[in-house]
């Protein structure tokens, strides 16, 4: 009897420890453990402790290695750019569809929608679950010659293109430019040493990856968002229960202001004369070109790969038409 009582007490004593959940997360930041993204994920992990999850973070400066270790079971979760996490969830991986969210306000509306409990079923695909989405900054076109400010000017130019980003490869071919296969560790070097004429990156790359060297005296940054990049935290479905996973998404959504403050600061730090402003009439043309490309990459027609989720494209179309109801796409027969 005494032995049974002691055993029961022992189980009771260890129960709180057994219920405290731990998980390992591979975190990509091009700067490593000192980078802004890594620090933001640290804040996420700190907040998740109050919800019973202790994330052990592992920094990576090579995104491909972080994803590889996650696939190999070295980590329970991974934090990386959505272009890389797209294979785990095509719906959330389509947020960065080319030209789909022209403003940060539209992005805010979308992420607020996705953080709601009713969106939870869409966060699961193929045995994986998205635990959070945070803005990573709009992607801009960096050019070494300011005359490259229209799609027509891109014809024949060499473009550093991530070799795993099928939508970017399709767009580069569409504008009759030349794909120069690259990855996140070497695209900046190719732009800076003149091996390519243009590269595509968020504002943080101007200083962190020294893209100002590639811009030089003649180049600049086209002031139109080609896509909204996000950092997404993805875990194997069984890592967190449904209620805790939903709490994680709400914690990530709560970090939207922090992320946007960081992004705004980086964009404002770029000298004004480095931005290439484009006329409003050109913007309308860009938007329609991007829309036609999204439709191709939704349906896999005209040689395009099937990349984008129809459901996500439809949701983002509704958001765009809510903020700009006069746009021609809002009454188009082939609306997304």
pTM of the predicted structure, to 2 decimals: 0.91
pLDDT of residue 20: 65
pLDDT of residue 185: 85
**Which residues have a Cβ under 8 Å from the Cβ of 326 and sit 6 or more positions away?**
none
pLDDT of residue 184: 84
pLDDT of residue 16: 40
Which DSSP string do the residues of 179-241 spell out, in sequence order?
Answer: EEEE-TTTHHHHHHTTS-SEEEE-TTHHHHT-HHHHHTTT-EEEEEEEEEEEEEEEEETTSS-
pLDDT of residue 3: 45
Give the tens place of pLDDT for each residue, 3-13: 444 444 444 44
Extract the residue ranges of the chain whose pLDDT is less than 70: 1-20
Helix (H) or strand (E) holding 58: strand 53-60
Q: Name the one residue in this structure whose structure tokens are 């180049």.
A: 219
pLDDT of residue 258: 95
pLDDT of residue 68: 97
pLDDT of residue 19: 57
Asked if residues 37 and 231 have their Cβ atoms less than 8 Å apart, the reply is yes
Helix (H) or strand (E) holding 274: none
- For the chain, how long is the longest CA-to-CA vector? 87
pLDDT of residue 152: 84
Instruction: Copy the structure tokens of residue 294.
Output: 């999204």
């Amino acid at each position: 009897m005494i032995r049974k009582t002691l055993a029961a007490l022992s189980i009771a004593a260890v129960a709180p420890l057994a219920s405290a959940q731990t998980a390992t997360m591979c975190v990509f930041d091009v700067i490593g453990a000192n980078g802004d993204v890594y620090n933001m994920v640290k804040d996420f992990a700190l907040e998740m402790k109050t919800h019973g999850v202790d994330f052990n973070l592992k920094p990576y400066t090579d995104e491909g290695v972080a994803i590889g270790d996650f696939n190999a079971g070295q980590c329970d979760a991974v934090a990386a750019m959505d272009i890389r996490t797209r294979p785990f969830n095509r719906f959330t991986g389509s947020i960065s569809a080319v030209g789909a969210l022209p403003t940060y306000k539209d992005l805010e509306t979308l992420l607020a929608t996705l953080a709601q409990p009713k969106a939870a079923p869409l966060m699961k695909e193929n045995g994986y679950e998205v635990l959070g989405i945070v803005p990573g900054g709009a992607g801009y076109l960096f050019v070494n010659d300011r005359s490259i400010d229209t799609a027509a000017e891109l014809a024949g130019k060499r473009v550093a293109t991530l070799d795993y980003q099928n939508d970017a490869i399709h767009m580069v071919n569409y504008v009759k430019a030349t794909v120069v296969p690259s990855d996140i560790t070497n695209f900046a070097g190719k732009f800076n040493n003149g091996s390519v004429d243009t590269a595509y990156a968020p504002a943080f790359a101007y200083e962190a990856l020294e893209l100002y060297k590639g811009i030089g005296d003649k180049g600049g940054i086209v002031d139109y968002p080609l896509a909204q990049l996000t950092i997404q935290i993805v875990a194997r479905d069984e890592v967190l229960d449904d209620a805790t996973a939903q709490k994680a998404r709400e914690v990530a959504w709560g970090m939207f202001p922090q992320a946007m403050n960081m992004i705004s600061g980086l964009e404002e730090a770029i000298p004004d004369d480095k931005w290439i402003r484009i006329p409003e009439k050109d913007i309308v043309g860009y938007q329609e070109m991007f829309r036609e490309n999204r439709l191709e990459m939704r349906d896999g027609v005209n040689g395009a790969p099937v990349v984008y989720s129809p459901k996500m494209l439809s949701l983002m179309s509704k958001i765009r038409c809510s903020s700009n109801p006069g746009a021609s796409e809002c009454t188009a027969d082939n609306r997304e």
